[in-house]
Amino acid sequence: MYRYLLLLDTDEEKEFFQKIYIRYKNEMFYAAFAILQNSSDAEDIVHDTFLTLIEKLENMMEESSERNWNYILTIVKHKSYNLYKKKKWEIDQEWDSLSHEEVFGEGMDSRITKIERKEQILKLMKKMRKSYQDVLIMQYYHEMNVMEIAQILGKTPDNVRHISMRAKRKLQGILEEYGFFDY
């Protein structure tokens, strides 16, 4: 924390920053970790977020603590998702560079089918509300639990459960419409 304080000019800014640091550092870490599933990356996101907050500290001092937390959480989520996408892109690049023998081993056909089906479902999910998409992606692709999702979205766990149920019903209807289920 002391390294950050050296970047601040006034005692008022330093005192305000200390309050934010003490109050939110753990929650910021958990939000980043929930997305990235890597503690080292989550720590990097928290550090990067604090550096960003130092630049915006003057504006934050005029806001309520709830508004500040929403702002901080938004920054953490965006930075985490950006890092996640970057790492996914790097993995995709590695995948592209694999040889034919490395890729097409035993059982590869079933893995490719699963990947293709996942991609099709993701495309169809875009027909749903953004809130539905967010909850389902966090729940099934990032394997987050209801508490983690609620914390990230700033909602109650019950609210997340209800959104999840409605989203699943909606997705099932879309999948049936596009012939994914033969009843």
Do 171 and 140 sit in the same domain of this protein? yes
Q: Are 31 and 151 in contact (CB under 8 A)?
A: yes
pLDDT recorded at residue 106 = 47
Contact between 131 and 154 under an 8 Å Cβ cutoff? The reply is no
Structure confidence by residue, pLDDT tens digits, 138-149: 888 778 889 988
3-state helix/strand/coil string of 153-164: HCCCHHHHHHHH
Integer Cα distance of 99 and 122 in angstroms: 27
Q: What is the mean pLDDT of the chain?
A: 81
Q: What's the CATH number where 91 sits?
A: 1.10.1740.10
CA distance 88 to 92: 6
**1 assigned to some structural domain:** no
Residues 116 and 48 in one domain: no
- Total domains in the fold of the chain: 2
Residue 3 falls within a domain, yes or no?
A: no
Q: Do 132 and 73 fall into the same domain?
A: no
CB 30: neighbour CB atoms within 10 A? 16
- Shared domain for 64 and 112, answered yes or no, is no
CATH code, 166: 1.10.10.10
163 belongs to a structural domain: yes
User: For residue 31, is it within any domain?
Assistant: yes
User: Is pLDDT of 136 > 60?
Assistant: yes
pTM over 0.85: no
Q: DSSP characters for 80-118?
A: HHHHHHHHHHHHHHHHHHS-HHHHS-TTHHHHHHHHHHH
Domain ranges, residue 26: 8-100
Q: What is the mean pLDDT of residues 118-135?
A: 83
Average pLDDT of the residues in 164-178: 87
- Whether 66 and 149 map to the same domain: the answer is no
Q: Of 107-111, 121-125, 167-171, which gets the smallest average pLDDT? A: 107-111
Residues of the chain with pLDDT > 90: what percent? Answer: 25
Among the ranges given (15-24, 86-95, 118-127, 142-151), the one the predictor scored with the smallest mean pLDDT: 86-95
Verify that 77 and 117 share a domain, yes or no.
Answer: no
Closest by CA position to 4, among listed 67, 57, 42, 41: 57
Looking at 49, 66, 100, which one is the last position of a domain?
100
Residue 50: which of 33, 75, 74, 27 has the closest Cα? 75
pLDDT of residue 149: 87
| 3-class state of residue 27 by DSSP | helix
Task: Summarize pLDDT for 15-25 with one digit per residue, the tens.
Answer: 888 899 989 99
Residue entry with tokens 């081993």: 105
